[in-house]
Amino acid sequence: MATAATASATRFAAALHGFRWRTYPLLDRAFFPKPRSVASLRFRRRFLAPAVLHKPDVQIKEEGQPETLDYRVFFLDGSGKKISPWHDVPLHLGDGVFNFIVEIPKDTSAKMEVATDEPYTPIKQDIKKGKLRYYPYDINWNYGLLPQTWEDPSFANSEVEGALGDNDPVDVVEIGERRAKIGDVLKVKPLAALAMIDEGELDWKIVAISLDDPRASLVNDMNDVEKHFPGTLMAIRDWFRDYKIPDGKPANKFGLGNKAANKDYALKVITETNESWAKLVKRSVPAGELSLV
């Protein structure tokens, strides 16, 4: 275990390089550069993950100011080296449990996402036409990705209207009661899958629950969700169907009869997209502009 002197030296070295190194608990906030606004400080307190999560050798580091074009949240290993949350965090934990990386905490609207085309794929706020993107209203669940998965844009899914993959990791909608933080790595179990079709591209939504949730032991499949979280599956489908309408775009569609598929189908999706990711990182398929670092 590092001594207090070593920890202080580490923080000092980080400060010299302009880093805001996130440790937990936040006992030394005064040491770090003062945020540019009260909103930025509130953003960090509420929505940025603690450094040490389920894997004690994983930390996160901010670069830039929240809600700016240059803001990034990087993942670091135990030696302080940058790693990719997409490629380097393992998917499988065994016994049907998976790692889930939080990009967007529930009850927030900033459209945060892993930058798949940047080295080490940090989390950033999405940009369109040079402007930061926000959902028209808050998302009601923790939202993020399954590491080591990829929706292959060259693969036409015959079960979902022949739609091609959207070239991104698989999305997760985590329905637990706790609001997570950006960069949290949660242990989740899948419960259902929704086959969203966004402008002709297949964009899977895996519905899952964190093992830390008080009701996690009660829900193990789609029917349990309806029993203990009534209306949630329909609410998720409707949210993702309609969120683009306020911007003047058409509603998204859903395959598989416009209904959620069960846990077994969700596990099938995870397996297939994990296999697609393996081909990607082995360069068996073209990576295009995607970063494999």
Give the pLDDT confidence of 88-127 residue by residue, as tens digits. 999 999 999 999 999 999 999 999 999 999 999 999 999 9
Confidence of residue 72 (pLDDT cuts 50, 70, 90): very high
Instruction: Label the pairing between strands 253-254 and 185-198.
Output: antiparallel
- Residue 266 and residue 207 in contact, taking contact as beta carbons nearer than 8 Å: yes
> 57: which DSSP letter?
T
pLDDT of residue 112: 98
pLDDT digits (tens, 9 = 90+) for 38-57: 455 555 555 555 433 444 47
Residues near 257 by beta carbon (within 8 Å), at least 6 away in sequence: none
Separation between Cα atoms, residue 44 and residue 152, nearest integer Å: 34
Q: Active-site residue among 71, 120, 135, 265?
A: 135
Active site residue 24: no
Q: What are the residue boundaries of the structural domains of the chain, listed by start?
A: 4-281
Six-digit token string for 54 = 């389920």
SS3 181: coil
Per-residue pLDDT at 44? 57
Q: Apex CA 196: angle with CA 191 and CA 201, to 5°?
A: 135
HEC-encoded secondary structure of 123-176 = EEECEECCEECEEEEEECCEEEECCCCCCCCCCEECCCCCEEECCCCCEEEECC
Q: Looking at the structure, give the CATH architecture of the domain made up of residues 4-281.
A: Alpha-Beta Complex (3.90)
What pLDDT, on the 0 to 100 scale, is given for residue 40? 53
Q: Residue 173 forms beta bridges with which residues? A: 143, 207
Cβ atoms of 230 and 194 closer than 8 Å: no
Task: State residue 39 phi and psi, 5-degree precision.
Answer: -60, -40
Q: What tens digit of pLDDT does each residue of 262-288 get? A: 999 999 999 999 999 999 999 999 999
pLDDT score recorded for residue 222 = 97
